[in-house]
Amino acid sequence: MDVEQRYRLAKQIATKVGKKISDLHFDQIEIEFKDKHLEDPVTNLDKLAQKLIVESIKEKFDSDHIYAEENQAHNIDLKSTKLWVIDPIDGTANFMHGSPFWGVSIAFAHNGQVVFGLVFCPELDFLYEAFNGKGAYLNGNLITVSKIALLEHSLITSGITHNLKKETEKKEKKLKMFLKLFEKAQRLRILGSSVLQICEVAAGHSEAFVGTGLKAWDFAAANKILEEAGGKTSTMNNQPVILGHQDMICSNGLIHDQLLELVDR
């Protein structure tokens, strides 16, 4: 299996598709609601981005499996030997509102282990990338996590999924956790793109991201980038994150234990 060839292709597609979608943005955006839920919008451009990415992969690697958000078939084995994990636009709500904080995310995994990850934010012209064992890069420059070791000095970001609105007990527990993070950290932000929020930790712009209710495409590429930048990811119980997990802490490593004490298990 030629993983390097796949990596080169992924880099090419992430940047090409990201730029194309960014160019089409204001002229051609059409908003739909998934299953008619007003909180769950998707645009024609999310679908177009995914179509372009999948077509390019299939053209060269027809037998590889693809686990991508805007798909009907989500019953794919996350431990496949050749698995692409794709979020064509992470941060769709930001994208729809004209915020630049959204990105194209592409990861490739072998037997459940991510081998490389790429995240491209076209509006900021930020390309994050990491290949197993070779470090993490932002626009070609090596990046590392920050050296801040106290939660009280940390900028933390989080995600709060809209699905939580429909829950009662779970919602209360999660909101309490956010309140604790808000009280303890220097600042708490919710920026609307888990992949970019994790990449921010990798680049040392933030100390941690605490995510809940995520899907593999919301973190596969970014967690690889964070790991290669010297950061740490774990479940709320301090177990290694696998592609099927939903709740996690992604940190610079130094404040990880302080977060584990605060989060809801």
* Contacting positions for ligand IPD (CB under 6 A): 69, 87, 90-93, 159, 161, 192-194, 213-214, 218
Q: How far is the CB of 53 from Ca ion (least distance, A)?
A: 12
Strand locations in the chain (E): 31-33, 41-43, 65-68, 83-90, 103-110, 113-121, 126-131, 136-138, 141-143, 155-158, 187-190, 208-211, 232-234, 248-251
* Burial per residue of 219-229, b for 16 or more beta-carbon CB atoms within 10 angstroms, e otherwise: bbbbbbbbbbb
| Residue 159's binding partner out of ligand IPD, Ca ion, none, with CB under 5 to 8 Å set by partner kind | ligand IPD
Smallest distance, Ca ion to C-beta of residue 80, A:
20
Residues in CB range of 219: below 8 A, 6 or more apart: 194, 195, 198, 211, 233, 241, 248, 250
* Nearest Cα residue to 243 out of 263, 215, 262: 215
Q: In whole angstroms, how close is the CB of 173 to Ca ion at the nearest point?
A: 22
Contact of 199 with 233, CB cutoff 8 Å: no
Residue among 32, 52, 60, 58 nearest 44 (CA): 32
Q: Which of ligand IPD, Ca ion, none sits in contact with 207, Cβ below 5 to 8 A by type?
A: none
Summarize as ranges the residues that interact with Ca ion (CB under 5 A). 69, 87, 89-90, 218
The listed partner (Ca ion, ligand IPD, none) that binds 234, CB under 5 to 8 Å by sort, is: none
Closer to ligand IPD by CB, 50 or 131: give it. 50
Between residues 148 and 199, which has the closer beta carbon with respect to Ca ion? 199
The residue among 3 and 93 lying less far from ligand IPD, judged by its C-beta, is: 93
Q: 41 vs 135, which CB is nearer to ligand IPD?
A: 41
Residue 213 touches which of ligand IPD, Ca ion, none (Cβ within 5-8 Å per kind): ligand IPD
Count of beta carbons in the 10 Å neighbourhood of residue 188: 18
The nearest distance, CB 103 to ligand IPD, in angstroms, is 9
Query: What's the CA gap between 53 and 136, in Å, rounded?
Result: 22
Give the torsion through C-alpha atoms of 51, 52, 57, 60, to 10 deg: 120
Residue nearest to ligand IPD (CB): 159
- Please identify, using beta-carbon distances, which residue of 214 and 250 lies nearer to ligand IPD: 214
- Nearer to ligand IPD (CB atom), residue 214 or residue 216: 214
- Least Å distance, CB 71 to ligand IPD, is 13
